[in-house]
Every structure is written in C-alpha cells, then in structure tokens.
Amino acid sequence: MSKHDYISDGSPASSRTTVESLRERPRAKVLIIGGGINGVGTFRDLALQGVDVALVERGDYCQGASGASSHMIHGGIRYLENGEFRLVKESVTERNGLLRLAPHYVKPLKTTIPIFSTFSGVLAAPLRFLTHKQHGTPKERGAFGGTVPRHEFKGRTKALQELPRLNPGVKYTATYFDASVHNPERLTLDVLQDGQKAAGGNGTARAANYVSVTGIGDEGVQLRDELTGEMFSFTADVIVNTTGAWVDLTNEALGSPSQFMGGTKGSHIVLDHPALFDACQGSEIFFEHTDGRIVLIYPMGDRVLVGTTDIRADMDEDAVCTDEEITYFFDLIKHVFPDITITRESIVYSFAGVRPLPRDDAEHPGFVSRDYRIEHGDREIAGTNVPVLSLVGGKWTTFRALSEHMTNDVLTILGHKRKISTAKLPIGGGADFPPTETDIQAWIARRVSDDLDAARVEGLLTRYGTRATDVITYLAAGEDRILHSTRELSLREIEFMVRHEQIGHLIDVLIRRTSLAFRGLVTAELLTELAQALAGPLGWDTARVAQEITHAQDVLRRFHGVPVHSPIS
C-alpha cells in the first residue's frame, strides 16, 4: 500500500458532491492537477478572475511537499550564496505579505545562527549581507511594523549567556527575524476555500481531493475517484500541471513525457524533549552542520522540530525518514548542544517529502536552484490541441507570487484580463485577525459562553483564524460533546469539518485538519473515538470504521514512525 492508493468501499454521495459535479459536467476552462499549495494558490487566483476552474488532487490537499516543509516562510537570504537575487527579492516581499495577509498562521520567527568557525561556508554570503545591513538601512524591519527587533550579533560571552547550553566552541551568534507557517495544511485549505467562495457557489470553482489523473483517453483526461475506484473523463482548454516532484510522471500520464524534475528528499523529526526545547530559548537555531549543510532546530508549540536532509529522491520509492537520517539529526543536535542527550523515545513524529526542484546535475543537491519556472507545452486531447503548463520548482514562501504568474500565463492563453490582484487580499481566517495579544484576548473573551470556555475558544481561533466564528455558530446550533480522548475536538466540530473540509479518511483529520499527529497525541482511544465520530456524518459502516483505523495506523507507522497499537475492542 502507498499512502496514495488506498481504495475503500466508497463513501456516501454527500461527501463527494464535487466529484459528482465533475462527472456531470466533465469540462472546465482550466484543469489544475495537484492540490499542493501551488496548485491551490493558482486555483484561488483563477477563481477570483472569474475563470471556470477545476482542481483534482489524488490524495488529500497538502499531502505532498507542501505538508513536509520546514515551516519557514523565509526571505531566503541563504540563496544569495547561489546568486539567486530574483528569488531572494520575491521571497522577502512574499514573506512580508503573508505576515499581513495570513497572520493567523504566519508568524514572525526569531532565528539564531551560531557560528563556530569563520566567515566561510554556505552561510558566509547571508552573514556578509547581515553585517552589511547592520550598518546600512534596515529596510526589512518595516515589514514587521517596527515591532520586531532587527538582526543582532553577539560575541561568545553574550551568546553563551543567552543560550547557556550552546557548544562553548561558539565564536558568535547572529539573530534576525524571519517568518514561519504554523499550520501549512490549514493555510492550504483556507486558500482553497477562498477560491471556492470567490465563485459564490455558481459551480465554476470546483476542487476535489482523492481524484487522480491516470492517463488520457479518447474523450479527455482520465480521472479516477480514489475513494471508489470509478473512472471518468474530463476536458479543459488549458491544463496546469502543479504536481510538484511528480510533474514528469503526470506529463507521462498525459502522453507528453518531460524531464524537468530532479527532486531531493528532505526529512524532519519532531521531539518531545523539554531540555532541548528550553535550550533554544524560543529561537529557531539555524546553522551550518559539520558537513556544510544548513539545518535547523526549531521549537514549535511545546515540541522541537529538527531537520532537514537533502538526498536525491527516487520517485518510485515513498519518501520516509530513515534510521540514517535520525542518526544525522542526533549528530547535529550534539554539535550545537553537546550536553543534551536525545534518545529515540523522544521522537513523537517524523515526516519526509520531495522538493520539486528542477533537474540539475549539480554535485551537491543543496546548490540546485530554488527558483521556479513555468514550462509551456501542448497535447492533443479529445481532438483539440490543449496547452499544458508545468510548474518546475516553487517554494511555500512564494506560492502567491507563483500563482499570480501561472494565472497570468493562463489568462493570456484564454485572452482574459486580470480583474483583481491577490497581493493585498487577506487569506481565509486571516481576515480581521486581532493584531495584538490584547486584541486576541478580547476576541476570545467576547466568544466565551456557558458551553465554550476561553481555552476552547482560543483553540478554535488558533485552528481556524477568524473563521472560528463560523465554527462557533455551528457548534451552538445543536447538542455537542467534547471527545473523551482529546479535549481539543467536539462532535459538532468534526461534523463541521466533514461538511466544509472534504474529509476522505480518518488520517486527514489527524495529520491535516488538526496537528494531533504532529504533536504525537494520537492514541488508540483517539483513533476509535474519532473514527466513530466521523462514521455518522460520512456514512461509514462498522467495516469501514475498522478499515479507517487500520489505514491510519499504517500511515502513521510507515510514513511517520509512530506506532499506535490496536484499540482494545
């Protein structure tokens, strides 16, 4: 089994209305293949321009590279080393934009670089840049509204005062502010829902997960409903291939093979380790490891994220974090915090993904260009020549700008004019998000009721941004109960997710609608209770509930290194 091709007995029509609509009206102006952040971003932009657009994702949204990133929305100053100035400029602009447009999920990130040797190595260029900036105009500071301190250099003594467990061999530290995305999976959903909302329910912005492109037939592109196994054809005037590291495989399925991609695998582990967490003092530790790679130790919530590797990927194999990579991570922690001992028991979750990088024969994968390009091709489909646009590359940070470029290319082909720019449009639950901690507390206080205490309202605001208002209204409209196995979810909230968030499998809720798996909070009891809670609204029978539990256990064990023992029945 791969995590992509699990076929079940089928789910009720109610959860698959979009798939039905794709079957009933099997054409659109644009078909986007791939529901990672770049496909979804392009979907939103095209829908906002009033273009009839359909998107299909073979698994769940954000299950590819978009769900495997280091969570950084970064200015990308390290790309200065590769001379990628265009990308750096765009990344800084986009990072600053996302801090304003999606403040519910994108937050400033304090980053500290410990330096052990001299101004050489991969981080030399960024450091020279920072040093230079230190004496120049701190242009970037304005982006944070002047509320975030600028970069700072500290000598050994001060650095060790601030981070006492740091390797005493440190020469100095550099600290600056970047940004991070706390909930990439939910941000992807927000972008998707913005697109659906833009079409105002008129059926011109249709997106379906668990639908894959499998090939091409006489009547169009062949689609397969991955929940039922049913096949159907679909046609469009333009095809957008945003299948990330799978772009070449998708083009092959479309009958026009390409050799654009040369992805590299990167893994991460998530640790429950209070001493390591404290040692970071709230800062992401970003540094050059002894092998010259840039790696990170990043306290997130009450866990610590450690990554990442950069290994040429074999697309025939599933990307998983290997034992060897875990040893590498332990090594890099030892390098920075030599007196902290980590054992495998502290790992609560691991994940891996393939970066959709352009094909390149560079000896060191870390030096492959991180910039993106759009390849234009065409393919005869159902008797017509159809332009096929393939995205090669494209980081999380730059998804909005990339989507704008892709949309502009599509609009040119269709002969349409852009109606609206996404540069200043708030994203989903980022709209009217309370800007300060005081405003956040006031927002929460206004929504506390007999049924919802402050902690629960805060949890909803964190999960949905200001879209939490819709959830709260939904919760209040019927009888509700918090699950026994987690204080974070209630029966009606799960029902809300089923209605609005296209849940195909139990695992979607654990990994992508919530962060329960990431934080290592999945228990056998939770699996059972959640599967039973989903069963009603999704129409699952007992056999399907059992199947979903086994499937979730399998995915957690094989792809995330999490053993969850069978529920006691």
Binding residues (CB under 6 A) for ligand FAD: these are 33-39, 56-59, 63-66, 68-72, 74, 212-213, 242-246, 250, 253, 266, 308, 353-356, 391, 394-397
Closest CB to ligand FAD among 31 and 527? 31
Of 321 and 461, the one with the shorter C-beta distance to ligand FAD is: 321
- The CA angle 301-305-311, to the nearest 5 degrees, is 155
Provide, rounded to whole angstroms, the least separation between the CB of residue 411 and ligand FAD.
20
User: What 3-state DSSP class applies to 100?
Assistant: helix
Provide, rounded to whole angstroms, the least separation between the CB of residue 491 and ligand FAD. Answer: 29
What does DSSP assign to residue 67? G
Smallest distance, ligand FAD to C-beta of residue 524, A: 28
Retrieve residue 433's tokens. Answer: 């998000």
Q: 380 has which bridge partners? A: 385
The nearer residue to ligand FAD, 325 or 495, going by C-beta atoms, is 325
Radius of gyration over alpha carbons of the chain, in Å?
A: 23
Of 65 and 531, CB closest to ligand FAD: 65
User: Which residue of this chain has its Cβ atom nearest to ligand FAD in the complex?
Assistant: 36
Angle at 112 between CA 106 and CA 114, to 5 degrees: 155
Report CA 326 to chain centroid distance, whole Å.
22
Q: Which is nearer to ligand FAD, 35 or 358 (CB)?
A: 35
> Bridge partners of 287?
295
- Which residue number, 70 or 82, has a Cβ lying nearer to ligand FAD? 70
Nearer to ligand FAD, 70 or 466 (CB): 70
Least distance in Å: CB of 350 to ligand FAD? 11
Residue 350 has which token pair? 């691991």
If the CB atoms of residues 126 and 537 are measured against ligand FAD, the closer one turns out to be: 126
Look-up: residue for tokens 């100095």? 172
Q: How far is CA 135 from CA 112, 123, 128, 131, 151, in A?
A: 19, 19, 11, 7, 11
What secondary structure letter does DSSP report for 103? T
Minimal distance, residue 184 CB to ligand FAD, in Å: 8
Token code pair at residue 229: 């196994």
3-state helix, strand, coil in the chain (%, to 5): 40, 20, 40
Q: How far apart are CA 503 and CA 293, in angstroms?
A: 38
Query: What is the DSSP code (8-state) at residue 170?
Result: -
* Least distance to ligand FAD, CB of residue 307, Å: 6
Least distance from C-beta 28 to ligand FAD, angstroms? 15
Q: Which is nearer to ligand FAD, 406 or 491 (CB)?
A: 406
Tell me how far apart the alpha carbons of residues 83 and 156 are, in angstroms, rounded to a whole number: 30
Minimal distance, residue 191 CB to ligand FAD, in Å: 11
- For ligand FAD, the closer CB: 213 or 509: 213
CB of 470 to ligand FAD, least distance (A): 26
In Å, the largest CA–CA distance within the chain is 72
Residue 416: C-alpha distances to residues 230, 235, 531 (Å): 34, 19, 46
CB of residue 561 to ligand FAD, shortest distance in Å: 15
Residue 95 Cβ vs ligand FAD, minimum distance, rounded to whole Å:
9
Nearer to ligand FAD by C-beta: 250 or 515?
Answer: 250
Residues 6 or more apart from 202 whose CB is under 8 A from it? none
Nearest to 23 by CA among 251, 242, 230: 230
- Kindly list the distances between the CA atom of residue 469 and the CA atoms of 225, 407, 483, 503, in Å, as whole numbers in the listed order: 33, 31, 21, 21
Least distance from ligand FAD to the Cβ atom of residue 81, Å: 16
Report in angstroms how near the CB of residue 465 gets to ligand FAD at its nearest.
20
Query: Could you tell me which residues come within 8 angstroms of residue 346 by beta carbon, excluding any fewer than 6 positions away?
Result: 271, 272, 273, 276
Nearest by Cα to 400 from 107, 54, 43, 79: 43
Closest by CA position to 500, among listed 190, 247, 286: 190
Cα 322 versus chain centre, distance? 21
Identity of the residue, 483 or 507, whose beta carbon is nearer to ligand FAD in the bound complex: 507
How many H-runs (helices) and E-runs (strands) does the chain carry? 17, 18
**CB of 271 closer than 8 Å to CB of 282:** no
In the complex, minimum distance from the CB of residue 560 to ligand FAD, in angstroms, rounded to a whole number: 14
Q: Name which of 491 and 510 has its Cβ closer to ligand FAD.
A: 510
Q: What are phi and psi of 291, to 5 degrees?
A: -90, 5
Residue 51 CB, shortest distance to ligand FAD, in Å, is 19
| Whether the bond into 42 is cis, omega within 30 of 0 | no
Partners of 275 in beta bridges? none
For ligand FAD, give the closer residue by CB, 299 or 537: 299
* C-beta closer to ligand FAD: residue 151 or 265: 265
**∠ CA 255-404-30, rounded to 5°:** 40
